[in-house]
Amino acid sequence: MQSYKLTYFNMRGRAELPRYIFAYAGIAFEDRRVEWNDWPSIKKTFPLGKLPVLEVNGVPLTQSLAIARFLAKEAGLVGNSKLAEAQADALVDTLNDFTLLIPWREDNPQIKTQKIDMLFQSHAPKLLDHLQCHLGDREWLVGDSETWADLYCHVCFTTFSVLRPGFADDHPALCGLIDRVEAIPNVAKWIQSRPTTEF
């Protein structure tokens, strides 16, 4: 049996998609959450000095999306054909691009609010239109079953909703997708039982 240890900080952040996939697949894992105070003393012990890191039987894997893609393959969540795999990859990258535009490191609260306002005014509608167009009248973003792109959509929308409550309200088909992900029993169980953090 494989052993999995996922190390990250006590937040959803970049570790939440791997955690969703573990939950979805019912795969046991150690959810190690490092305190920020302890981080400087252990940073050097991790490849690249960044988190998340997933250890698989002691072998460290870096980069959150590479980790998630690896687990999605294990869980049968990458898509049912090479083309579907590429479509799911592209949607994950598109969601990630938006996430990277969020001014996480801006210290000035007023400037931070301005930047977030601009982001949600200028970029969010394009993202939402693209996702909704991709979804069409289907249940899931790619093909006829759920993929890691659907799970990532839920992970991202949870965080975007903290920054801008109701940001997707005028995209009802996407809200339906979010409800469907949330209704997957193992995902629902994870969401109910995970530590409560803002991000």
Return d(Cα 108, Cα 116) in angstroms, integer.
12
For residue 7, state whether it binds ligand GSH (rule: CB under 6 A): no
Q: Is 12 in the site for ligand GSH (CB under 6 A)?
A: no
82 contacts: CB under 8 Å, gap ≥ 6: none
| Shortest distance (Å) from residue 105 CB to ligand GSH | 10
Q: Is the C-alpha dihedral spanning 90, 143, 183, 121 positive or negative?
A: positive
Q: What is the DSSP letter of 123?
A: T
Q: Is 8 a residue of the active site?
A: yes
Span from 58-66, 145-153, 156-164, 185-193 in contact with ligand GSH (CB under 6 A): 58-66
Tokens in use for 70?
A: 């690896």
With contacts defined by CB under 6 A, name the span among 26-34, 59-67, 134-142, 165-173 that binds ligand GSH. 59-67
d(CA 36, CA 108): 21
User: Does residue 14 belong to the site contacting ligand GSH (CB under 6 A)?
Assistant: yes
Active-site hit among 4, 12, 14, 20: 14
Q: Which is nearer to ligand GSH, 30 or 170 (CB)?
A: 30
Q: How far is CA 136 from CA 80, 85, 129, in A?
A: 18, 18, 10
Tell me if 51 contacts ligand GSH by CB under 6 A.
Answer: yes
- Cβ-based nearer residue to ligand GSH, 54 or 184: 54
Residue 35, SS3? coil
Q: Is 104 a known active-site residue?
A: yes
Tell me which residues are annotated as active site. 8, 14, 104
Interface residues toward ligand GSH, by CB under 6 A: 13-14, 43, 49-52, 63-65
